[in-house]
Structure 1
Amino acid sequence: MNQSTLRLTRELADIQKSNDLSLAVACRDADIRNIKALIVGPPDTPYEFGFFEVPPPQSTGFYLSHVKYPGKAPTVNAITTNGGRCRFNPNIYAGGKVCLSILGTWRGERGEEWSSAQGLESILISIQSLMSANPYENEPGYENANSQHHKDNQTAYVLKIRHETLRISIIQRLEEYLGLKPDGTYILRQPEEGEGSGDDPQYVEEGGVYFFEPFKDLCKRRFLWYYDTYLASIETERAKVTENQQFVRMPFETVNSNSMEGKFSYSELERRIKNIRRALDAEAEKWGPEGMEALKREEGVAANLQRQFEQTKVYFSKSDAVTLDIDLQDKNPFIWQVSYIGRPMTNLDGGLFNFTLRFSVRFPEEQPRVQFSTPMFHHRINNDGIPSYFPGRPDDVRSHIEGVIALLEEDDPAYDPRTQLNTEASKLYWGTKEEKREYSKRFRRAVQRSMEYS
């Protein structure tokens, strides 16, 4: 490897190992010059929890010359633009161009230009910084725009960006991953030969051609995390507009080429987002029967999960630190059922908490879906029992279980709005002393009632 390739390899590894929930990177096979990156929209902005991809033209990823990088900035284009029809920011064009001084695509102040000390993470963070609570301010000359007209434009711009973030970056993306039409029916696809396959979770088929989609599983799991948040956002935003109201065109938008055109249709978005949720639930339900077939065929993934189950069960049976029971549903190694007993002398004391891990035959590339059947009132568990937890090793099931337990037992967590899945519980937990006491009461009430669901 030359120095450019070595550096790029290190940068990719550093981002992938980091705990940043807003950034993800991947490269296709052995071609390290072609990288795909995903930015999850920042909380408390109109881009909140949207999925934005930033490869260059033809969806090939960052283009990085072995000779010029890191001496020269890579070429970067956004593709979450609804096929080149939607401009998501004054500095992110419908055609994919990203205007940033760090990329040499915008004239910035001295010291803001690219240098070899910067890298992929610098670029992604710079793009993410454009996704602010008031993206209108990215338009040159904004600081001199103090009229009421410009203030009205700022409000109108935020309204339509939130709508299109939900429609394009979330709903359209998940429908594509699931093979769903907007009406909720499935697209019938015939398997064809080609690069990748329908059995590979990192590829998506379209018209007989398979496209490299390394973030498919990540987006599905994050959608389940934020499902309640998406629905709450729809309810909040629909009250601010009239159904079928046309978007306001901004002064910097060009008609039919570099703008965000459309109308508000939150009833349609709500229907489609619920269809996606049903499809994801149905997908996970199919994993059990698919797993049993893999077990009958003695496939490696079935043997791996069976072995991990036996080892994990022995490990926890000998542990004095935690009390739990693990079983397989109908002797199926693809469905694990866990019952955790709360530690004495803690807020969990007297509680019995049941959760299920469902595994795909494509594990670990496709991560398990974890869901509590015990009703919970917890700031990091949504209303459907889906937790925001983090396994130390994605391929180790014991690590997944330990991650869920760590979530339940954490005493003094750092605040991270990206992990707050229950809005009501989060508001109380991070609120005043009185609100925190109310949270504790409701949490303890849920713990005490948990035995009723055993």
Structure 2
Amino acid sequence: MSDQAILRITREIKQIQQGADLSLAVAYDESDIRSVHALVLGPPDTPYQFGFFEFAIKFSKDYPAKPPSVRALTTNKGRCRFNPNIYASGKVCLSILGTWRGERGEEWSSAQGVESILISIQSLLSNNPYENEPGYDKAHTAEDNECKISYIAKIRHENLRIAVIEPLESSLGILPDGRTSKVSEQPSEENEDDQLLNEDDDPLTDQFIDLRKRRFLWYFDSYIQTIDNAELETFRKRKFQRMPFESQGNTMDGHFDYPELRRRLALLKERIVYETHKWPSEGLVVKEQGLGIASNLQRQYEQIEEELKRQKNFAVDLKLVDANPFLWAFTYFGRPMSHLDGGIFKFKIYLSPRFPDEQPRVFVDTSLFHIRVSREGVLCYFPRRTDEMRYHIEAIVAVLEEESPPYDPRTTVNPEATKLFWGSPQDRKIYNRALRRSVEQSAEETYV
């Protein structure tokens, strides 16, 4: 591969990593930049909602004259076909990749790149994936309509099981039957097969573990809401209906079991929160060992505190809890004439000893009914840069002070609040009243 092609791949990767699209992520093998691993977030309001779909991308020496090869990794070890165009074998059928016949103008061109490929893949994850089947334009019978509904139903179930739950269970050392083991332990002979069912062979998978955990905390309420709604439409242990286009070895077989998915989701949340709360104590050990990350975070805290004083920013108060640079106490005082006017909101910022590879997780100690705060009290925010804490503090303040955010379901993590905020004018009034109650209660709790 030419140096020019390598420079182009590097540029494309950086553009995605630094871009504003919250639903795409990429990582690459440092020993071979031609091996790229991509994650596509399932679009909101589809059966793939907030699922984590991974793809391996391999560039040939002919790139960009020819497209890279793309293989789907979220296939339950080759046992699940997630879409008419995404096979259980990992094959992705797209005209842009040259793996499917397309109309004139839909073929690959050297003007396209990794991002256009991922956007094309994301377009397959639609609210009616049955339409991707080539014969769909002739499907107009009642039986066809039943197939469409059944197909959506089983994708919705397997999205939670395979694209959300199982990879996180594997990274946390939770076995499929609910038993738990320390992640640091090697699999024993009796549970090695269970581990293999959930682990991916691609080493780049590890680069998305932290992203999955943070997003899981943000979208947990949405996952539970999906289960609440789906349980009204199906019953436990009912087998999935096989689609006309599914063939032996290239299907999505199984049965519905939403109560079991609910249990597994709750256990995952418990384990991720527990892991987060352990970071401060792990950080103290790192501090005692004199490792650089502790002094680095201490220095960042002092610089931010000094900058807040210089700016005379009275809306923010920042402290280290028990002088621990891995646990920051953040207090926000609502600005006059704003929607949080008079409120006093307290947050805890948990930092990992592996920062910035593991990103901070922010929990709201004060009850706050807000589109960016989950019912579990997890704050959703996106810093401009992830490697310095000043950008995280800026992003947290920006989220709290934003009064007219653009509609983006990927950034709103309280389903009830979201429905009210973007509902009717009457709904918005209900939202504002609930938010105002949070403001009043926060002040009362502070002065009690």
C-alpha distance in 1 between matches for 2:32 and 2:202? 19
**Which residue matches 2:141?**
147
Alpha-carbon shift at residue 63 of structure 1 (Å): 1.2
Contact preservation (8 Å) 2:331, 2:347? yes
**Which residue matches 1:241?**
234
Greater shift, 351-360 or 437-446, is seen at 437-446
Alpha-carbon shift at residue 421 of structure 1 (Å): 0.8
Alpha-carbon shift at residue 14 of structure 1 (Å): 0.7
Deviations 1:332-370 (A, max 9, x none): 110001111111121211100100111111001100111
Alpha-carbon shift at residue 322 of structure 1 (Å): 4.3
Contact preservation (8 Å) 1:316, 1:323? no
Within the candidate set 356, 361, 367, 1:375 is matched to 367
Question: Identical aligned pairs, as a percentage?
Answer: 51
**Which residue matches 1:226?**
219
1:238 counterpart letter in structure 2: E
C-alpha distance in 2 between matches for 1:32 and 1:234? 40
Contact preservation (8 Å) 1:77, 1:96? yes
**Which residue matches 2:189?**
none
C-alpha distance in 2 between matches for 1:179 and 1:319? 46
2:149 counterpart letter in structure 1: T
TM-score, normalised to structure 2's length? 0.94
Contact preservation (8 Å) 1:38, 1:54? yes
Alpha-carbon shift at residue 309 of structure 1 (Å): 1.3
**Which residue matches 1:397?**
389
> For 2:70, what is the secondary structure of its paired residue?
coil
> For 1:150, what is the secondary structure of its paired residue?
helix
1:74 counterpart letter in structure 2: P
**Which residue matches 1:90?**
84
Within the candidate set 235, 240, 245, 1:252 is matched to 245
- Does structure 1 residue 315 correspond to structure 2 residue 310? no
Alpha-carbon shift at residue 327 of structure 1 (Å): 1.5
Contact preservation (8 Å) 1:157, 1:248? yes
> For 2:327, what is the secondary structure of its paired residue?
strand
Deviations 1:288-329 (A, max 9, x none): 111000110111000011111111112212323442221111
Structure 1 residues 392, 210: CA separation in 2 closer, same or farther (over 3 Å shift)?
A: closer
C-alpha distance in 1 between matches for 2:296 and 2:220? 31
C-alpha distance in 2 between matches for 1:33 and 1:315? 42
- Does structure 1 residue 53 correspond to structure 2 residue 47? no
> For 1:333, what is the secondary structure of its paired residue?
strand
The CA RMSD measured in Å over matched residues stands at 1.8
C-alpha distance in 2 between matches for 1:136 and 1:54? 21
Structure 1 residues 333, 321: CA separation in 2 closer, same or farther (over 3 Å shift)?
A: closer
Structure 1 residues 208, 155: CA separation in 2 closer, same or farther (over 3 Å shift)?
A: closer
Within the candidate set 265, 269, 284, 2:276 is matched to 284
- Does structure 1 residue 64 correspond to structure 2 residue 59? yes
Unaligned runs of 5+ in 1: 56-61, 193-204
C-alpha distance in 1 between matches for 2:147 and 2:445? 52
C-alpha distance in 2 between matches for 1:183 and 1:354? 38
**Which residue matches 2:32?**
31
1:342-361 maps to which residues of 2 (within 5 A)?
342-361=334-353
Contact preservation (8 Å) 1:429, 1:436? yes
C-alpha distance in 2 between matches for 1:366 and 1:437? 38
Contact preservation (8 Å) 2:37, 2:204? no
Aligned residues: 434
Greater shift, 79-88 or 408-417, is seen at 408-417
**Which residue matches 1:177?**
171
**Which residue matches 1:13?**
14
Alpha-carbon shift at residue 393 of structure 1 (Å): 2.0
- Does structure 1 residue 332 correspond to structure 2 residue 327? no
- Does structure 1 residue 40 correspond to structure 2 residue 41? yes
C-alpha distance in 2 between matches for 1:233 and 1:211? 29
1:11 counterpart letter in structure 2: E
Contact preservation (8 Å) 1:130, 1:138? yes
Unaligned runs of 5+ in 2: 187-197
Runs of 4+ in 1 over 4 A off after TM superposition: 188-192, 205-212
**Which residue matches 2:193?**
none
**Which residue matches 2:69?**
75
Contact preservation (8 Å) 1:39, 1:51? yes
Contact preservation (8 Å) 1:341, 1:353? yes
C-alpha distance in 1 between matches for 2:254 and 2:124? 22
Deviations 1:427-452 (A, max 9, x none): 11112222212211111111111123
- Does structure 1 residue 4 correspond to structure 2 residue 10? no
2:129 counterpart letter in structure 1: P
**Which residue matches 1:105?**
99
C-alpha distance in 2 between matches for 1:190 and 1:14? 34
**Which residue matches 2:191?**
none
Contact preservation (8 Å) 1:84, 1:94? yes
> For 1:141, what is the secondary structure of its paired residue?
helix
Within the candidate set 421, 424, 433, 2:425 is matched to 433
Deviations 1:376-397 (A, max 9, x none): 1111111112122111221211
Greater shift, 135-144 or 181-190, is seen at 181-190
Contact preservation (8 Å) 1:28, 1:212? no
1:29 counterpart letter in structure 2: E
Deviations 1:226-249 (A, max 9, x none): 000001111111111111000000
> For 1:436, what is the secondary structure of its paired residue?
helix
Contact preservation (8 Å) 2:12, 2:114? yes
**Which residue matches 2:442?**
450
C-alpha distance in 2 between matches for 1:332 and 1:422? 30
**Which residue matches 2:194?**
none
Within the candidate set 161, 168, 181, 1:167 is matched to 161
> For 2:13, what is the secondary structure of its paired residue?
helix
C-alpha distance in 2 between matches for 1:365 and 1:188? 21
